[in-house]
Amino acid sequence: MQRASNDRIHAADGTARSIRMREFVVLMAALMSLNALAIDAMLPALDEIAETFAMTDPNRRQLIVGIYLLASGVGALIPGSLADRFGRRPVLFGCLTLYAIFSAACALATSYDVLLVMRFMQGFCTAGLMVLPAAIIRDRFEGDAMARLLSLIFLVFMIVPVLAPSLGQLVLQFAPWQAIFGLLTTLSCAVLAWAFIRLPETLDPAERQPIDARTVLHNLPLTLRTRVAVGYVFGGGLTFGAVFGYINSAQQLIGEHFGAGDAFPLIFGLTASTLFFSSFTNSRIVERFGARRVSHTALVLFVGFSIAQTTAAHFAPDNLWLFVPLIAGNLCLLGFTGSNFGSIAMQPFGHVAGAASSVQSFIRMTLGAGVGIAIGQFYDGSAMPLALALLLCSLAALLLVLFSERGKLFRRPGEARRYLAVHDVMKG
């Protein structure tokens, strides 16, 4: 299989199209950022949407976010197999087109139920924007090199959650909430044009997988049968779910419970900005120390911060400036687990990267979205439901990782490679 050169990624299908590494990183981040924008840019508009549709249940407004996340997870099963058969480019272009169509449909919704249906369709039909970047990267990279590149992409991508609430707030200063969906439509069209012109096809035609019942039934459950991957997939889903719970309830928690509504975009952006720092640091250290050692250390620290968050919610429930650094710490540590967990889980599946990325994204997103919705709906006017969820999810994730690693954490890179080699021999 043709690999990336040091500074360019070339097409695998014999065409002359290629892209420089820096542009490739930014483009992959832009694809992922459309998902982040669809979530975080909506947060400042939740109150206005609730007023438009005269909602009486204050927690129901969170479904604007939760239903999109859940639909993205359900839809993740489809694009990977399609991309393994037809190539990465055509499936990606279809997802971007549908993103633009359903963004426009959300802006035209005449009732809250219709809006939720359109949001579900938007998330379901555009799940490829979450699945395909990992498959495209796996076509050209593997192991700790893949983890490093994912961290670089995550680094660029994380600018969006920091700025998205402020961007949504800015739009609301001049236009109604529907204009935010209009902005999403415009941005998706711009990214579609960019990818069409510049992105090469990374899937070698010789590695395309036929779509038939036997192939799909073999490829999609493969993660569930692979011990070295399954704990990281489910563990990642739980940690993401706890963070999704924060995203779902952040506007109510910060704006209402802590009484800092005017400062919500700034505070949310401040906590999210820690992911930028951790992703940058991870990209610098992961090849030296290995994805396992870095992510295992971060997961143990995540448990520690969650214990502190639960303690603070009990003894100082109204202290915003104790809550903020603790939740920022949890988000920071997510930057050391997310991309590394994903890279470790994808390592055994180079021959079916699209299908593996689909099933792993399906598990992570449906589990994460379901947990996040549940946390949001348990919001009771305090930070305690979120704190308990962070603690329980991180402890469960630690147990799952221990299962995948057969009880041994902090493996050195060489040890991890030997472990995978033995696993591949046994599997063969």
Q: Per residue in 198-215, pLDDT tens?
A: 999 988 888 887 776 666
For the ranges 19-33, 151-165, 251-265, which has the lowest average pLDDT? 151-165
pLDDT for res 73: 85
pLDDT for res 91: 94
- pLDDT tens readout for residues 307-317: 999 999 999 99
Residue 399 contacts by C-beta under 8 Å, 6 or more apart in sequence? Answer: none
Q: 422 pLDDT exceeds 80?
A: no
Neighbour-count burial for 133-145, b at 16+ CB within 10 Å, e otherwise: bbbbbbbbbbbbb
Residue with tokens 């979205």: 369
Q: What average pLDDT does the segment 35-53 reach? A: 90
396: which 2 tokens?
A: 């469960």
**Cα gap 71→369, rounded to integer Å:** 9
Per-residue pLDDT band at 356 (split at 50, 70, 90): confident
Instruction: Check: CB of residue 36 under 8 Å from CB of residue 165.
Output: no
113: which 2 tokens?
A: 């139920």
For the ranges 148-152, 180-184, 236-240, which has the lowest average pLDDT? 148-152
State the Cα angle at 72 between 91 and 114, rounded to 5°: 105
**Cα gap 7→423, rounded to integer Å:** 33
Q: What average pLDDT does the segment 233-246 reach? A: 92
**Cα gap 248→48, rounded to integer Å:** 16
Instruction: Check: CB of residue 342 under 8 Å from CB of residue 134.
Output: yes
Query: φ, ψ for residue 25 (rounded to 5)?
Result: -60, -45
What is the number of other CB atoms lying within 10 angstroms of the CB of residue 422?
Answer: 10
- pLDDT tens readout for residues 100-134: 999 999 999 999 999 999 999 999 988 888 888 88
360: which 2 tokens?
A: 């792993």
**Cα gap 173→146, rounded to integer Å:** 41
Q: What average pLDDT does the segment 331-353 reach? A: 83
Which amino acid type is present at position 183? L
68 compared with 349, residue with greater pLDDT: 68
pLDDT for res 312: 96
**Which of 345, 337, 134 is closest to 227 using CA atoms?**
345
- pLDDT tens readout for residues 379-402: 998 999 999 999 999 999 999 999
Which amino acid type is present at position 114? V
**Which of 385, 289, 387, 272 is closest to 334 using CA atoms?**
272
**Cα gap 10→107, rounded to integer Å:** 39
**Cα gap 396→161, rounded to integer Å:** 26
Radius of gyration of the chain (CA): 21
Q: What average pLDDT does the segment 21-33 reach? A: 88
SS3 347: helix
**Cα gap 210→354, rounded to integer Å:** 12
Instruction: Check: CB of residue 286 under 8 Å from CB of residue 340.
Output: yes
**Cα gap 365→374, rounded to integer Å:** 14
Per-residue pLDDT band at 2 (split at 50, 70, 90): very low
**Which of 391, 423, 393, 392 is closest to 405 using CA atoms?**
423
Instruction: Check: CB of residue 13 under 8 Å from CB of residue 201.
Output: yes
Q: 417 pLDDT exceeds 80?
A: no
Per-residue pLDDT band at 371 (split at 50, 70, 90): very high
Average pLDDT over the chain, rounded to an integer: 86
- pLDDT tens readout for residues 139-169: 877 766 777 777 777 766 767 877 888 899 9
Q: 322 pLDDT exceeds 60?
A: yes
Per-residue pLDDT band at 4 (split at 50, 70, 90): very low
Q: How would DSSP label each residue in 225-275?
A: G-HHHHHHHHHHHHHHHHHHHHHHHHHHIIIIIS--GGGHHHHHHHHHHHH
258: which 2 tokens?
A: 């802590």
18 strand-pairing partners: 10
Residue 145 contacts by C-beta under 8 Å, 6 or more apart in sequence? Answer: 287
pLDDT for res 426: 42
For the ranges 27-31, 160-164, 292-296, which has the lowest average pLDDT? 160-164
Per-residue pLDDT band at 272 (split at 50, 70, 90): confident
Q: What average pLDDT does the segment 256-274 reach? A: 88
Q: What average pLDDT does the segment 232-236 reach? A: 94
User: Which domains are assigned to the chain?
Assistant: 13-427 (1.20.1250.20)
Share of the chain above pLDDT 70, in %: 89
Under DSSP, the state recorded for 41 is T
Q: 425 pLDDT exceeds 50?
A: no
Tell me the whole-structure pTM to 2 decimals.
Answer: 0.78
- Judged on CB neighbours under 10 Å (0-12, 13-18, 19+), 269 is middle
Under DSSP, the state recorded for 306 is H
Q: 377 pLDDT exceeds 50?
A: yes
Per-residue pLDDT band at 295 (split at 50, 70, 90): very high
**Cα gap 288→145, rounded to integer Å:** 10
319: which 2 tokens?
A: 């202290």
pLDDT for res 424: 47
- DSSP helix, strand, coil percent of the chain (3-state; round to 5): 80, 0, 15
